[in-house]
Structure 1
Amino acid sequence: MRWRYFIPCAPDWPVKERGNLPHLTPFLQTCLPLHLLPESALVTACTGYQKSGNGVVYKSWNEAWGSSSFIVKGADATSFQSLKGPYAKDKDHVYFRGSPIVGAKPSTFVALSETYAKDSEHAYFEAVVITHANPASFVASSDLNYAKDENDVYILGRPIEACDPQSFRWLKDDWQIDSKCAYRRAKKLPGADPRSFSVINYWYAKDKHQVYSSIRAVIEGADAGTFALANGSCEVCARDINRCYSDGKVVSCDSFK
């Protein structure tokens, strides 16, 4: 997964000091500290809804476009609630980044994370209905890219056709397993044995039969029993009893000396 640093707030937003952390003063404001966020989730680091007279204004900032704001059309300021991330609702509508989510039901709508939500009839990725997802069992992962229900696991709102969604779990460094399969970034690893599957680091994992690279899936011919990282600080350098590897490719062991 690619990550980027996002600057927390636009300079034109009013701030006050509380301890050593800046906090925004406007009502209904969410401001995240400088943080690493998944680029693929497309979540800006500082978004918020602010009351303005009898209406509501949505403000945002990101490093690509800078600061922007607009009036949330039709918003009822009296019943307006800011939810997680860019989600909000009032008595009549649900909003994502200041725009209404067509068909969403405010009375049952719940924001599960900054990117996933649900109501009594649908699950959503951002503002888009996830077709065939079951809202009753739908839950979001701590990783903003993922969610799951009783039927499947979803990455960026798309089903991955998990072998066993009920047992699906996230390991470190974006490797996953369930009772039947193992995955790298939600893609199935061919022939993987989840019962013996173990993560080595971001770049490598293995089971009792095979070794896997985050770039090249199965490393053909690698000896799983002896495969380990090479000595030193190189995270992509590894070796087994027969060969040496860099980025999942076979290289001369002399290159590690």
Structure 2
Amino acid sequence: MWTQPAILPSLKDLPPGNNYYIIDGTKVCYNVYPIKNADRETFVCQLGFAKDKNNCYRLGEVYKGADPETFEVLNIYFAKDKQYIYNLAGIDKKVDYDTFTVLDTGYIIHTNNRQEKITSYAKDKNGLWMMEYYSQKPVAIKGIDTDTFTTIDTCYAKDKQYVLWRGKKLKKADPATFEALNFNYGRDARNIYAQDTVLANADYDTFEIVNNQVSLAKDKRAFYHFGETVSEEEFNEWMA
């Protein structure tokens, strides 16, 4: 939903985090940076995108030639108008306009209302596209069946043949039995996985993640930090 920027008396009152603001009731800014020629009366914003009667914007930069009347936000990574799909860098000429569809919002909201980008997917007639946290342009993920593709959590996803972790295929994973334990660990009927790699020496029956510690896990044989074996002392230090 398009909203008007927050109105602040001065830059001294700027809260933390990047956003659009109207300073002194007249000047439109992205964070502390004035947006040249922005129209204060018609300026609205959404998920880092913005528009007024004259232009469309991303992080305060103008999308040249974009049509404000038909400009709409698709998710945190993409927008479109009557002619083009726009990624964070500008017009996206690789994706197919008519069949392009985003498959998620591209972000999660934490309990403190902080917005965080996540691994995000979109599709068109040519296949699957992925955006990552710092991506400017989408990456094509080849060999994925978009009709059966679904996300599992913020990093894991699957289709009828593959499980993906941030776009990387888990070559041995079984999509039918795979479950994400958190966004760094998962399991299927046969194996334990750390991100996109089989934990070959993990004990399947006793393997467990540690609550609220997304990097840590353990079983009766070992302790793990991001899938790497660590000592019990190191494990406890990470827990502290």
TM superposition score normalised by structure 2: 0.68
What is the match of residue 138 of structure 1?
A: 101
What is the match of residue 78 of structure 2?
A: 116
What residue identity is the alignment partner of 2:19? C
- Find the aligned partners of 1:169 and 1:129 in 2 and give their Cα distance: 26
Pairwise CA RMSD: 3.8
Q: Secondary structure at the residue paired with 2:82?
A: coil
| Map 1:238-257 → 2, pairs under 5 A | 238-239=218-219, 243-247=221-225, 248-250=227-229
TM superposition score normalised by structure 1: 0.64
What is the match of residue 208 of structure 1?
A: 189
Q: Quickly say closer, same or farther: Cα 1:11–1:114, change in 2 above 3 A.
A: farther
Which string of whole-angstrom CA distances, capped at 9 and with x for unpartnered residues, describes residues 73-100 of structure 1?
3x4556x341313322234421223321
- Find the aligned partners of 1:83 and 1:201 in 2 and give their Cα distance: 33
Q: Secondary structure at the residue paired with 2:34?
A: strand
What is the match of residue 199 of structure 1?
A: 180
2:10 is the alignment partner of 1:47? no
| Map 1:31-180 → 2, pairs under 5 A | 44-48=17-21, 57-61=27-31, 68-73=32-37, 75-76=38-39, 80-136=42-98, 137-139=100-102, 141-142=104-105, 143=107, 144-145=117-118, 146-150=120-124, 151-155=127-131, 156=135, 157-161=137-141, 163-180=144-161
Q: Secondary structure at the residue paired with 2:160?
A: coil
Q: How far did residue 167 of structure 1 move?
A: 3.1
> Is the Cα–Cα contact under 8 Å of residues 198 and 206 in structure 1 kept in the other structure?
yes
Q: Quickly say closer, same or farther: Cα 1:119–1:185, change in 2 above 3 A.
A: same
> Is the Cα–Cα contact under 8 Å of residues 108 and 120 in structure 1 kept in the other structure?
yes
- Find the aligned partners of 1:256 and 1:100 in 2 and give their Cα distance: 48
Which string of whole-angstrom CA distances, capped at 9 and with x for unpartnered residues, describes residues 28-60 of structure 1?
xxx8xx8xxxxxxxxx4432356966xxx3323
Question: Which has the larger displacement, 175-184 or 44-53?
Answer: 44-53
Q: Which runs of 5+ in 1 are unaligned?
A: 1-7, 16-23, 25-30, 35-43, 62-67
- Find the aligned partners of 2:22 and 2:139 in 1 and give their Cα distance: 31
Q: How far did residue 158 of structure 1 move?
A: 1.9
Q: Secondary structure at the residue paired with 1:209?
A: coil
> Is the Cα–Cα contact under 8 Å of residues 193 and 207 in structure 1 kept in the other structure?
yes
> Is the Cα–Cα contact under 8 Å of residues 207 and 218 in structure 2 kept in the other structure?
yes
Match of 1:218 among 198, 206, 210: 198
> Is the Cα–Cα contact under 8 Å of residues 58 and 98 in structure 1 kept in the other structure?
no
> Is the Cα–Cα contact under 8 Å of residues 174 and 184 in structure 1 kept in the other structure?
yes
Q: Which runs of 5+ in 2 are unaligned?
A: 1-5, 108-116
Aligned residues: 210
Question: Which has the larger displacement, 141-150 or 205-214?
Answer: 141-150
Q: How far did residue 223 of structure 1 move?
A: 5.0
What residue identity is the alignment partner of 1:159? V
